């Protein structure tokens, strides 16, 4: 996990309104191969704008004013996404970098079956695939995210919110991208389904080796699943570091405020965050003990 799969340098995005809104300001970071990088911050701090800018999905009046986002392929070549033509961008998206959008469970076409929406991906990006191969692949993808392949014949309104979210994650995995950007992928789901989906994301990352940029305002969640966390405020990354270090020794005052802002029903402020991190520390200790015994 030491080699970068994505390098973002001096990245800035403005909304060209009156007055101009500087939504992302000179952001730089590296995403390492196979890691989960959490992107935390309050609503409106620029998290989603940064993600959309990286994959060049911003619409006017948003404009990238400075910086680069460079994808480093495992095959050894680099792609500066700012240099790609519109046609090349369409080919690279979901093939190299995929995205699960905010409110993704409502992003499925309501009048097309799940099977047809999957097959559209392969017909567009893998036209050489035979029909039988496409159908088998669609079923395999659903099963990877814990959905029965019989649901391929269903329409979105016949699926629960959790199932629709899983379908969107499976679609984002369809072309085996090396990076998945997830923008609030569990928002609006109940906590039980949220936990199940997070477990699936972690399992799939471990199994398939893709890197994840996980965007949310829920810092306790990020502390539990992320390798590193970037904290954004007013369009800037104010702190970036290992998740455990950020929890035990936050350097920026805003990070300390975020950590203290999650009260427990029965304890003092911040105890919910401590509970999540205590669970993770126990899990890491268990892994270490297992390795020593083996």
Q: What is the pLDDT of residues 187-215, one digit of tens each?
A: 777 888 888 888 888 889 999 999 999 99
pLDDT given at position 288: 45
Q: Is position 195 within any domain?
A: yes
In a domain, 270, yes or no: no
Predicted pLDDT at 106: 75
Using CB atoms within 10 Å of the CB of residue 12, give its burial: 0 to 12 exposed, 13 to 18 middle, 19+ buried: buried
Facing residues of 64 across strands?
13
Q: What is the CA radius of gyration of the chain?
A: 20
Residue 290 has pLDDT above 80, yes or no: no
Does residue 182 surpass a pLDDT of 80? yes
Domain assignment of residue 281, yes or no = no
Higher-confidence residue of 145 and 274: namely 145
What CATH number is associated with residue 256?
Answer: 3.40.50.300
Residue 289 lies in a domain: no
pLDDT at 102: 79
Tokens 């340098």 -> residue: 9
pLDDT of 282 reads: 52
Please state, in angstroms and rounded to a whole number, the distance separating the CA atoms of residues 287 and 292. 9
Closest C-alpha to 211, from 86, 74, 22, 91: 74
Q: Residue 105 has what pLDDT?
A: 66
Question: DSSP assignment of the chain, as one string?
Answer: --SEEEEEEEEEEEE-SSS-EEEEEEEEEEEETT-EEEEE--TTSSHHHHHHHHTT---TTEEEEEEEEEEE-TTS-EEEGGG--HHHHHHHBTTTEEEE-TTGGG-S-TTS-HHHHHHHHHHHH-TTS-HHHHHHHHHHHHHHTT--GGGGG--GGGS-HHHHHHHHHHHHHTT--SEEEEESTTTTS-HHHHHHHHHHHHHHHHHH--EEEEEES-HHHHHHH-SEEEEEETTEEEEEEEHHHHHHS--SHHHHHHHTT-B-SSS-BTHHHHHHHHHHHHHHHHHHHHHHH-
Q: What is the pLDDT, as a whole number, of residue 58?
A: 95
Give, in order, the Cα–Cα distances in Å from 278 to each of 65, 67, 158, 224, 247: 42, 38, 39, 9, 11
* Residues spanned by the domain of 135: 4-261
Please report whether residue 287 resides in a domain: no
Q: Which residues of 112-144 are buried (b: 16+ CB within 10 A; e: fewer)?
A: ebbbebbbebbeebeeeeeeeebbebbbebbeb
Asked whether the predicted pLDDT for residue 23 surpasses 70, the reply is yes
Mean pLDDT of the chain: 87
Q: Work out the pLDDT band at 287, boundaries 50, 70, 90.
A: very low
Query: Average pLDDT, stretch 149-173?
Result: 92
Share of the chain above pLDDT 90, in %: 66
Structural domain count of the chain: 1
Residue 69: closest CA among 99, 33, 31: 31
For residue 217, give the nearest of 268, 254, 190, 169 by alpha carbon. Answer: 254
pLDDT confidence bin for 116, thresholds 50/70/90: very high
Residue 285 has pLDDT above 90, yes or no: no
The verdict on residue 294 lying in a domain is no
pLDDT of residue 279: 56
Q: For residues 57, 63, 66 and 68, what is the CA-based torsion angle, rounded to 10 degrees?
A: 10
d(CA 56, CA 267): 44
**Tens digit of pLDDT for each residue in 224-280?**
899 999 999 999 999 999 999 999 999 999 999 988 876 655 555 455 455 555 555
With both helix axes pointing from N to C terminus, report the angle between 161-173 and 191-208 in degrees, rounded to the nearest 10: 20
Q: Give tens-digit pLDDT for 40-86.
A: 999 999 999 999 999 999 999 999 999 999 999 998 899 999 999 99
Percent of the residues in the chain that have a pLDDT greater than 70, as a whole number: 87
């Amino acid at each position: 996990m030491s080699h970068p799969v994505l390098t973002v340098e001096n990245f800035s995005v403005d909304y060209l309104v009156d007055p101009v809104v500087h939504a992302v300001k000179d952001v730089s970071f590296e995403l390492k191969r196979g890691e989960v990088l959490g992107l935390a911050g309050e609503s409106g701090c620029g998290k989603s704008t940064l993600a959309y800018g990286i994959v060049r999905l911003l619409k006017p009046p948003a404009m990238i004013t400075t910086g680069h986002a460079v994808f480093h392929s495992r095959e050894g070549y680099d792609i500066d996404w700012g240099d790609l033509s519109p046609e090349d961008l369409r080919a690279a998206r979901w093939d190299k970098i995929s995205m699960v959008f905010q409110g993704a469970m409502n992003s499925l076409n309501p009048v097309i079956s799940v099977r047809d929406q999957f097959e559209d991906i392969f017909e567009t990006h893998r036209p050489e695939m035979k029909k039988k191969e496409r159908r088998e692949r669609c079923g395999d993808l659903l099963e990877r995210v814990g959905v029965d392949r019989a649901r391929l014949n269903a329409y979105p309104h016949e699926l629960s919110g959790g199932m629709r979210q899983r379908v969107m994650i499976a679609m984002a995995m369809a072309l085996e991208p090396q990076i998945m950007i997830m923008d609030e992928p569990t928002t609006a789901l109940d906590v039980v389904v949220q936990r199940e989906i997070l477990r699936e994301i972690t399992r799939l990352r471990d199994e398939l080796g893709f890197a994840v940029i996980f965007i949310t305002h829920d810092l306790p969640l990020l502390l539990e699943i992320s390798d590193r966390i970037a904290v954004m405020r007013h369009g800037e990354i104010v702190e970036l570091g290992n998740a455990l270090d950020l929890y035990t020794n936050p350097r920026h005052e805003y990070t300390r405020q975020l950590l203290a802002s999650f009260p427990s029903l029965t304890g003092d402020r911040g105890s919910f965050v401590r509970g999540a991190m205590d669970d993770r520390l126990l899990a890491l200790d268990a892994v270490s003990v297992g390795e020593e015994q083996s």
